[in-house]
Amino acid sequence: MAPAPRAALPRDLDRGESFEQLLARTRACRVCEKDLPLGPNPVFRLAETARLLIVGQAPGTKVHATGIPWNDPSGDRLREWLALDCDAFYDTARIAILPTGLCYPGRLPQGGDRPPRPECAPLWHPPLRARLTNVRLTLLVGSYAQAYYLGNRRAASVAETVRNFRTYLPEFLPLPHPSWRTRAWAERNPWFSCRVIPELRRRVREVLG
């Protein structure tokens, strides 16, 4: 699968904006407003000094309400994988957090959250990512982040993409989404805890210094 087509940027994004102005415009985005059941509320944390970038999927309801990314049980599990406490994880000067979809996309009729809005990453990731020139490692958490950044370089499944994580280093390190389902998945795939987690922690320590 090739990366999603990159939508044209609003013309006023191409006028030599400061990083702060670009962030303000991103927070004010209303492109998907009619399709968002709780309304627009872009959630991300970025600084030009960041050395580690975490790309997930989209905020859940708790993250939407608090405006704090990964402020839920999935975030607890991700921090456990990274061996980082909350203070380190939310140190925006060192760690950037940019989901594939910036706003809560709503629920599916059969349960679970909808996929990230398809307009979002092609519109906002290119200009934002271009300013993060100090990033040395990008964690691709879940299938949507891997689809956007790896395209047809992905394996046939998230499990195989994660298993082959060394293929994408040193730029990217793919991970499964740390939902409650991942605990049982990890038990069925012990290579994740034995091979991926130690390398993940080593590289995060190295990047953050």
Q: What is the pLDDT at residue 8? A: 40
Q: What is the pLDDT at residue 15? A: 58
Q: What is the pLDDT at residue 3? A: 42
Asked if residue 123 belongs to a domain, the reply is yes
Q: What angle do CA 172, 174, 177 make, to 5 degrees?
A: 140
Q: What is the pLDDT at residue 14? A: 53
Q: What is the pLDDT at residue 183? A: 85
Asked if residue 5 belongs to a domain, the reply is no
For position 189, which CATH number holds?
3.40.470.10
> Using one digit for the tens of pLDDT, what is the confidence trace for 93-118?
999 999 999 999 999 988 888 999 99
Q: Do you find a cis peptide bond into 116, omega within 30 degrees of 0?
A: no
Percent of the chain at pLDDT exceeding 90? 85
Q: How many domains does the chain have?
A: 1
Task: Give whole-number Cα distances, 92 to 86, 111, 137, in Å.
Answer: 11, 33, 15
| pLDDT less than 50: residues of the chain | 1-13
Asked if residue 7 belongs to a domain, the reply is no
Asked if residue 43 belongs to a domain, the reply is yes
* Domain of 196, in residue numbers: 15-208
Asked if residue 56 belongs to a domain, the reply is yes
Q: What is the pLDDT at residue 174? A: 98
Asked if residue 1 belongs to a domain, the reply is no
Asked if residue 30 belongs to a domain, the reply is yes
